[in-house]
């Protein structure tokens, strides 16, 4: 079947390898598309690309999307870089996370817009967001849009939702010291793994006690706690003298981060190498209400939710810029083999964005 320009752009994007740290080729493609459309744009040394659309103005609305993908894992039944189309569903690496969003951003270059728009094609999201080495950080150092829409996947059970917030991401690392001894005489040593095991049992107990937390507008969120890395032991005949346990806590935006950190510190000798607060746009927030109204008028419904993970929208809100995520990809399909995207969801998301921006296709 002949693909529409939007679907064809998505297929072309999927064919370009763009694992984190290797975004040069896809940035080349974006720049060619922007140049051909006559858009004003700039590209930095890290391959972040910023474009300016619509009428002049000091308070543009930002559409943001990341150029990079995770590496293809095992389990694919076709070449991940060769998109496959069947029954209105395209599969391919990054098709939901988030090259479908990038295709819409490029499509916006062809719209007649009533409001100023800045497109932020950013790099290193999959690896560098938490460390501040992704492309959002330098973008926010130079520009201050009035609001932002991050085109991360927000399709859940076939419905295009509005992500109005996300949980915080907290990493705790525990280091247990012991004393080495020969394993035939364990009583002469002090087993660091045994100490770590007690901590892991305490973590599991606390995790089982976590419950969903209600937010406004019918939203709820599920905080979580899990052991994610254990590093201990060097040989089977040596009592280990050191064990390190890494724990990940997803923190609801209405929880107190300091109190959560104190609770984890009470379990053992903790350090916190990563603390990323979440957010929730407050009830009645003007931009959130604008987004929900646009969805109601376009889709016939509007459903906000709070993401269990952490994402770029949190960086915007931390800078005082209201942000939501809204994108045509399937939320649960991220990073999976045979990653799918329903093409009709691109059309639905396009209609929402065109109404938001006052845009029509040229």
Same domain, 181 and 262: yes
Q: Which of 275, 295, 319 is the last residue of a domain?
A: 275
Same domain, 65 and 144: yes
Could you tell me the residue range of the domain that residue 177 belongs to?
A: 168-275
Range of weakest confidence among 245-249, 278-282, 293-297, 331-335: 331-335
Q: Rounded mean pLDDT of the chain?
A: 95
Dihedral sign for Cα 98, 99, 100, 106, please.
Answer: positive
Q: What is the pLDDT of residues 132-173, one digit of tens each?
A: 578 999 999 999 999 999 999 999 999 999 999 999 999 999
- Specify the CATH number for the domain of residue 198: 3.30.70.360
CA–CA separation, 118 and 265 (whole Å): 42
Same domain, 160 and 177: no
Mean pLDDT of 197-226: 97
| Residue 28 pLDDT | 98
- Specify the CATH number for the domain of residue 315: 3.40.630.10
| Residue 1 pLDDT | 61
Same domain, 184 and 242: yes
Same domain, 246 and 289: no
The 10 Å Cβ neighbour count of residue 63 is 27
Find the helix or strand (DSSP H, E) in which 62 lies: strand 61-66
Mean pLDDT of 32-48: 97
CA–CA separation, 290 and 324 (whole Å): 11
Q: What is the pLDDT of residues 232-274, one digit of tens each?
A: 999 999 999 999 999 999 999 999 999 999 999 999 999 999 9
Q: Is 229 exposed, middle or buried (0-12, 13-18, 19+ CB in 10 A)?
A: exposed
**What angle in degrees, to the nearest 10, is found between the helix axes of 24-36 and 100-108?**
30
Range of weakest confidence among 128-132, 274-278, 319-323: 128-132
Same domain, 265 and 304: no
Same domain, 128 and 198: no
191 and 255 Cβ atoms separated by less than 8 Å: no
Instruction: Please state the domain count of the chain.
Output: 2
């Amino acid at each position: 079947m002949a693909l529409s320009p939007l679907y064809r752009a998505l297929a072309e994007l999927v064919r370009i390898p763009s694992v984190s740290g290797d975004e040069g080729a896809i940035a080349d493609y974006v720049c060619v598309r922007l140049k051909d459309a006559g858009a004003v744009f700039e590209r930095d040394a890290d391959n972040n690309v910023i474009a300016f659309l619509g009428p002049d103005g000091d308070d543009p609305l930002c559409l943001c999307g990341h150029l990079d993908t995770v590496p293809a894992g095992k389990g694919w039944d076709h070449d991940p870089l060769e998109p496959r189309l069947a029954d209105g569903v395209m599969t391919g690496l990054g098709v939901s996370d988030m090259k479908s969003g990038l295709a819409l951003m490029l499509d916006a270059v062809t719209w007649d817009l009533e409001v100023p728009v800045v497109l932020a094609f950013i790099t290193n999201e999959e690896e560098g967001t938490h460390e501040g080495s992704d492309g959002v950080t330098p973008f926010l150092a130079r520009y201050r849009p009035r609001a932002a829409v991050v085109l991360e996947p927000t399709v859940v059970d076939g419905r295009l939702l509005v992500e109005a917030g996300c949980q915080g991401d907290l990493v705790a690392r525990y280091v247990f010291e012991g004393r080495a001894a020969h394993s035939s005489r364990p009583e002469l040593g002090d087993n660091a793994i045994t100490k770590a095991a007690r901590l892991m049992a305490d973590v599991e107990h606390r995790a089982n006690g976590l419950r969903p937390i209600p937010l406004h507008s019918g939203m709820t969120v599920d905080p979580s706690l899990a052991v994610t890395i254990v590093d201990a032991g060097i040989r089977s005949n040596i009592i280990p003298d050191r064990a390190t346990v890494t724990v990940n806590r997803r923190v609801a935006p209405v929880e107190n981060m300091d109190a959560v950190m104190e609770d984890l510190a009470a379990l053992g000798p903790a350090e916190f190498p990563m603390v990323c607060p979440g957010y929730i746009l407050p009830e009645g927030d003007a931009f959130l209400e604008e987004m929900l109204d646009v969805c109601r008028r376009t889709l016939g419904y509007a459903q906000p939710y709070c993401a269990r993970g952490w994402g770029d929208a949190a960086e915007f809100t931390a800078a005082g810029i209201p942000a939501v995520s809204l994108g045509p990809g399937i939320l649960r399909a991220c990073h999976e083999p045979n990653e799918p995207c329903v093409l009709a969801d691109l059309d639905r998301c396009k209609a929402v964005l065109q109404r938001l921006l006052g845009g029509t296709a040229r």
